Chain A
């Protein structure tokens, strides 16, 4: 990679060992992925729940946190993805003291590094959405795909170590979706059915992700009969990223880089797939067929917007959840939900609102074992995709069906 004088100085240790490690890490990654140089980034977003970090990762962070302030602070706005617990509700999840201790240590280390503890995967709805062509270093695949596709920003998947590196150096290797040539479509998906519910948008995202196949593929969707809402884009993108490792999609006539098909398909034939209502139904039925009831219901992955919180509250009015019902939102939405009475309505009906965490990032396997949970109902295709590996049997349903199950002792209609 070509390095500027400042980048050479970083590598030589002029700015301290944390920055030297960071730029060296970025050079290794950039070299592997064919980057020729660095690009300045405006924001970084770090995924670093302690189930992922483990003790080794937390101790690694603490080493940098002990450096003098001038050598350890991030140099661009750097924020965080959901944490591994909500301290106020940890007892309801049976999170163990060692998990909470590890969380506190990680939080202290990040704060010492100058990181803003936003603890959210919906920063594009609540913190500071990126603008078109803005280069970023985002963690959380859902954040990346939404920011790239809906906002027209430019980010690759930046895992925790790389996002922290970008925070410390203010740049990232210029490869992948920072470059124009990787933002063109590589396949076309002809959609014959425009989803109505969030779970259907997630199912469509999952199907598109599976069809696309890997990170470097960019699907262009044709045939949607209306503009999806931000929450619908959120569920579609999160599932496409989860099932397919995708970081960018285009919706022709809707998303900013694809107002016309020829803007993202400049020439040549691309493979084309048709997806219809039957495919979306089959995708969901494939998860629920093995179970006729659930042990708990979870709304999470991504965290819920204020609009989703209101919908959950409306569905619960006058009813009572008789199995555990968890709703994860961001620390930015939670105070609004409190102020507007949504949290009180949900919790009066037996639900638990969690803030600043996401279910799958919070020791999902240990929670299952401690609580005897196995069969889980959700409207999140992303959550459905992840939790199988943690020993759960998930069922993907509408928000309405999930609430109905929660209020019927878990029985599925």
Chain B
């Protein structure tokens, strides 16, 4: 039996992948080495971890506006997560995801970083009537 968690908003296409989970924020400029495809900020709980092809399950969008361009640039080079799942989104994430044609859902009635085990295989449907992430 699978567990399912509904989000308040979603964008993109249905994806399945392995979750990379942390109770920490997300900013492409502040947190990532986008060439190597790893979290690079030493203070980040995922520091040193590769994000390529992973479903990132994190707490809140952080930092500046650069992510709006950077997701598109990362997508063009194929060094990209599979999807973003956030408790709290900011407009920059929505703008970047819209430009990059990427997948994101956000806004849960629980702390999604506590609900999804790190390493679990998950499916995300951002276009369902109630967008969701579920454990496969």
A residues at B contact (CB < 8 Å): 25, 28-29, 32-34, 47-49, 52-57, 60, 139-141, 156-162, 175-176, 213-216, 241-245, 360-361, 365, 385-386, 388-391
> Nearest-CB distance from A212 to chain B (Å)?
10
9 pairs of residues in contact across A and B, judged by CB atoms under 8 Å: A32-B89, A53-B69, A54-B77, A55-B76, A141-B65, A160-B69, A161-B95, A161-B99, A242-B64
> When the two chains form their complex, are residues B91 and A176 in contact, meaning their CB atoms are under 8 A apart?
yes
- Binding-face segment, B13-21, B40-48, B49-57, B112-120: B40-48
B30, B32, B69, B89: most-surrounded residue (chain A CB, <10 A): B69
Q: Which 9 pairs, one residue from A and one from B, show the smallest C-beta to C-beta distance?
A: A159-B68, A54-B73, A56-B76, A215-B90, A389-B41, A214-B88, A52-B69, A52-B66, A214-B60
> When the two chains form their complex, are residues A57 and B94 in contact, meaning their CB atoms are under 8 A apart?
no
> Nearest-CB distance from A389 to chain B (Å)?
4
Q: How far is the CA of A391 from the CA of B40 in the complex (A)?
A: 7
Interface check B33, CB cutoff 8 A = yes
> When the two chains form their complex, are residues B91 and A161 in contact, meaning their CB atoms are under 8 A apart?
no
Select A25's contact among B32, B60, B98, beta carbons within 8 Å: B98
> When the two chains form their complex, are residues A216 and B91 in contact, meaning their CB atoms are under 8 A apart?
no
> When the two chains form their complex, are residues A48 and B30 in contact, meaning their CB atoms are under 8 A apart?
no
Q: How far is the CA of A48 from the CA of B96 in the complex (A)?
A: 13
Also in contact, A242 and B63, with CB within 8 A (given A161-B95, A215-B91): yes
Q: How far is the CA of A295 from the CA of B101 in the complex (A)?
A: 41
Q: How far is the CA of A164 from the CA of B64 in the complex (A)?
A: 17
> When the two chains form their complex, are residues B61 and A29 in contact, meaning their CB atoms are under 8 A apart?
no
Chain B residue at smallest Cβ distance from A215: B90
Interface check B29, CB cutoff 8 A = yes
> When the two chains form their complex, are residues B88 and A215 in contact, meaning their CB atoms are under 8 A apart?
yes
Q: Beyond A32-B9, A215-B89, list 18 extra A-B contacts (CB 8 Å).
A: A32-B10, A47-B64, A47-B65, A55-B73, A141-B65, A157-B64, A159-B92, A159-B95, A161-B99, A162-B91, A213-B60, A214-B61, A242-B63, A361-B66, A365-B33, A388-B42, A389-B32, A390-B40
Q: How far is the CA of A310 from the CA of B75 in the complex (A)?
A: 44
Also in contact, A389 and B30, with CB within 8 A (given A32-B98, A60-B72, A245-B90): yes
> Nearest-CB distance from B42 to chain A (Å)?
6
Q: How far is the CA of A32 from the CA of B11 in the complex (A)?
A: 7
Chain B contact patch, size range:
35 or more
> Nearest-CB distance from B34 to chain A (Å)?
9
Q: How far is the CA of A361 from the CA of B30 in the complex (A)?
A: 11
Q: How far is the CA of A25 from the CA of B92 in the complex (A)?
A: 13
Interface check B6, CB cutoff 8 A = no
> When the two chains form their complex, are residues B70 and A52 in contact, meaning their CB atoms are under 8 A apart?
yes
Q: When A and B form their complex, what is the total count of cross-chain residue pairs whose Cβ atoms lie within 8 Å? A: 138
> When the two chains form their complex, are residues B94 and A33 in contact, meaning their CB atoms are under 8 A apart?
yes
SS class, residues of chain A in contact with chain B: helix
> When the two chains form their complex, are residues B64 and A32 in contact, meaning their CB atoms are under 8 A apart?
no
Also in contact, A158 and B42, with CB within 8 A (given A32-B11, A214-B61): no
Q: How far is the CA of A162 from the CA of B66 in the complex (A)?
A: 12
> Nearest-CB distance from B57 to chain A (Å)?
16
Q: In residues 58-86 of chain B, which contact A (Cβ within 8 Å)?
A: 60-70, 72-73, 75-77
Enumerate chain B residues within 8 angstroms of A389, measured Cβ to Cβ. Answer: 29-33, 40-41, 44
Chain A residue at smallest Cβ distance from B104: A32
Q: How far is the CA of A191 from the CA of B20 in the complex (A)?
A: 38
> Nearest-CB distance from A207 to chain B (Å)?
15
Enumerate chain A residues within 8 angstroms of B92, measured Cβ to Cβ. Answer: 157, 159
Enumerate chain B residues within 8 angstroms of A245, measured Cβ to Cβ. Answer: 25, 60-63, 90
Enumerate chain B residues within 8 angstroms of A139, measured Cβ to Cβ. Answer: 65
> When the two chains form their complex, are residues A386 and B69 in contact, meaning their CB atoms are under 8 A apart?
no
Also in contact, A158 and B73, with CB within 8 A (given A141-B64, A214-B90, A242-B63): no
Chain A residue at smallest Cβ distance from B30: A389
> Nearest-CB distance from B7 to chain A (Å)?
11
Enumerate chain A residues within 8 angstroms of B9, measured Cβ to Cβ. Answer: 32-34
